[in-house]
Amino acid sequence: MKLELRTVRAALASPHMAGHGTVAERDLILAELRAADGLSGHGEAAPLPSYDGVGVDEVAAALQACGPVLEGYRDASPIADVLARCSEATVLPQALAALDLALWDLAGRRLREPAWRLLGAPAPLAVAVNWTIAAADRSTAAREAAEARAQGFPAIKLKVGIGDDAARLAAVRAFAGPQMAIRIDANGAWTLDEAAAALPALEPAGIELCEEPVAGLDEIRALHGATEIPLALDESAGDPEALRDRVADLVCLKIARCGGISGTIDAARRATAAGYEVYLASTLDGPLGIAAALHAAAVIRPARACGLATLRLFAGRSDPLPPNAGSITAPRGPGLGDGLLDWYR
């Protein structure tokens, strides 16, 4: 199999503010795996340097290192075998994710089956998704909350630790209505003392959960006993110890960080066995990454709304996977699905 790579720069419609920094554009790597029989599968690497500390050049080099390994493979080798050999060439999950996605896409195209069926799911899943508010100002956040409500989203995610949190949250609650689940995400920006002070102050607005309030497993464990608000691991879920013993209530898993569909399903099994509730989210992925998460979700069946409605945050590209009344279903077609590649023009 032959691997071809192309970097795609996609601008966001407005800067995405988070505790870890501001993102204005995304560099994604489109990976095409071409088999000798003429079929090809596509995957995507979506490293987010401000989130996972991994740069696009690093991932491109890792993928290039896998090229010779892939050339040694025949068309229909088991995906797990190919990934195991590639993981000897690189340990970067963002790179392995691109290959995993391309391999599932290729296998599905060869068998003319959608990835969810190859993964053993009985049917595709309409995955409930949250609206993400990345605006740091109150009036934009409130306007977005009203829009999320009007479009039927079941949940909103609000970034905190970026200033004016309490007033912005109150505005969002007022415009989202009492039924909306509102989750907050500090991206580890708070210290333990700051989190211990902020969470009780924000709690009266009604909070579904708080993602990564503080940075690191030990800090989250320390905070866990001190608040009623359910806590979720996100950045800390990448710690090799994270899924062994439960240190929070939930864990947010991402295709790019888990090494693709296979790695995400495996992580979800381990997390569930440890007692976590699991949900999925994107690292501002392109449509291949979002579709991959939707196929994985058909097996994982997440307990909460997932952070997969992020394609609307990009500028000048039409969303091939638009939410419908607050949920998204994997696209039709074989492999990861049809109609996803125009986005990467």
Catalytic residues: 159, 254
How many CB atoms sit inside 10 A of residue 152's CB? 11
Q: CB nearer to Mg ion: give 3 or 207.
A: 207
- What are 136-144's contacts with CB under 8 Å, separation 24+? 136/17, 136/162, 136/163, 136/164, 136/168, 137/164, 137/168, 138/164, 138/167, 138/168, 138/171, 139/171, 141/168, 141/171, 141/172, 142/171, 142/172, 142/174, 142/175, 143/175, 144/172
Location of structure tokens 């062994």: 244
Check binding of 285 to Mg ion (CB under 5 A). no
- Minimum Å gap between C-beta 148 and Mg ion is 17
Residue nearest to Mg ion (CB): 234
Stretch that binds Mg ion, among 9-17, 69-77, 208-216, 296-304 (CB under 5 A): 208-216
Q: CB nearer to Mg ion: give 66 or 267.
A: 267
Check binding of 211 to Mg ion (CB under 5 A). yes
- Cross-strand partners of 189: 214
Stretch that binds Mg ion, among 129-137, 141-149, 207-215, 332-340 (CB under 5 A): 207-215
Question: Token pair for residue 343?
Answer: 């986005």
Q: Rule CB under 5 A: which of 121-140 touch Mg ion?
A: none
- Minimum Å gap between C-beta 75 and Mg ion is 38
Q: Rule CB under 5 A: which of 221-240 touch Mg ion?
A: 234
Q: CB nearer to Mg ion: give 90 or 310.
A: 310
Q: CB nearer to Mg ion: give 165 or 234.
A: 234
- Minimum Å gap between C-beta 198 and Mg ion is 16
Kindly give the pairing relationship between strand 130-133 and strand 127-128: unpaired
Total binding residues for Mg ion by CB under 5 A? 3
Kindly give the pairing relationship between strand 155-159 and strand 181-185: parallel
Check binding of 185 to Mg ion (CB under 5 A). yes
- Name the nearest CA neighbour of 39 among 103, 110, 118: 110
* Positions that interact with Mg ion (CB under 5 A): 185, 211, 234
